[in-house]
Amino acid sequence: MACRERIVIPLQIPSKLQDLMYAFRESKVLFAACDMGVFDILQDSDAPQSVEDISSKMGSNVDATECLMNTLVAVELLEKKKQDGSWLYSNSVIARQFLTKSSPDSLIDYIKHSNKVIYPLFSNLENAIREGSNQWMRTFGHSKEDVWKDEYSTEGSCLQFLRIAEEFWLRLYICFVLFVFLVRNKGGPGTMAYTLCQYYPNMKITVCDLQSVVDSARHFRPSLKDCPNQGNISYVVGNFFQEDLPKAELYILSRILHDWSDEKADLILSNVYECLPSGGRVLIAERFLDEDKIGPKSTLLTSLNMLVQVDGKERTRDEYRKLLEKQGFVDIQAKQLDSSEGSDAILCRKA
């Protein structure tokens, strides 16, 4: 009796695993398109463009450009239609709103930062896990301190970095009733300060940050029509590791503590505590991990991002509570918000 050959049926790869295996390719398609100006080229054109037109404006290979454009259509960032025998491309609604420089909701600066900085750092995630430290030196050949010096070295580079931060500060909820006088540490361009000023016209606000950031803040000042009480906002040079912070009844620490180890977070909170009067408060804006630390997924990924960038981490509400109680803060209230909006929040009081 003849032996029958055994037919081996290939194992079906789960779609979830396929998505994970190929997700970085989709991200890189987005990064490349933003870096090469695809969406701005289409936005600035009077009509949908052909591959040849787009390739000419980008100075790129026609065949390769066509492959990129069709992939962008597949991921729903571009639209494609046939007109007079030629295929033409235009921006999708999502691309027009979030991927063009002219849009007030633009994420272009953050996406370019992701391509230039975060993507290369994540290529060394394995080393970060082994060592428990950031990967600036291995990835770029210099320390994270040198990188931040570069970011703040010129007004142009400082502005670009602040716009990256502004894109996310604008999405931060105002979730607790605030007080009469406020200092915001790591103040950035003052975006949050101007927003608070509109909600609380009698509030006096001091934004505290590095000299180069303070110098660049004028570029983010709204019109008097949009913020008629902006005279209530002032800027001072400083940082949250110094002991003589400007006095205030309320400090806002927005996306600061996740940059640092528990030891450095202790130092920051200790300085803030010493500068607060009795009854003064701290509002902390950070993303919370679930207590079992297996979610939310976006916060877990941000925690790994903090590791490869700054030796930091995201924390649970209970971990933040313990940091605050260690310094003597009481009446600790935590509010978990929709993580897509940027941050959760904790409000606490000095006894």
For the annotated catalytic residues, the residue numbers are: 258
Q: Where are the alpha helices (DSSP H) in the chain?
A: 15-35, 38-43, 51-58, 62-74, 93-98, 108-113, 119-122, 125-131, 136-140, 144-151, 155-169, 191-199, 211-216, 262-275, 297-310, 317-327
Phi and psi dihedrals of 115, rounded to 5? -70, -40
Spatial neighbors of 111 by CB under 8 A, at least 6 apart, are 30, 31, 34, 99
CA 340/CA 125 separation, integer angstroms: 24
CA 168/CA 172 separation, integer angstroms: 7
CA 57/CA 43 separation, integer angstroms: 13
* Helices 155-169 and 191-199: angle between axes, nearest 10 degrees: 40
C-alpha dist (Å) from residue 297 to 168, 293, 301, 340: 18, 10, 6, 11
Phi and psi dihedrals of 2, rounded to 5? -70, 140
Phi and psi dihedrals of 151, rounded to 5? -60, -35
C-alpha dist (Å) from residue 305 to 69, 120, 142, 296, 298: 29, 11, 18, 14, 10
**Residue with tokens 């297996």, as numbered in its chain:** 294
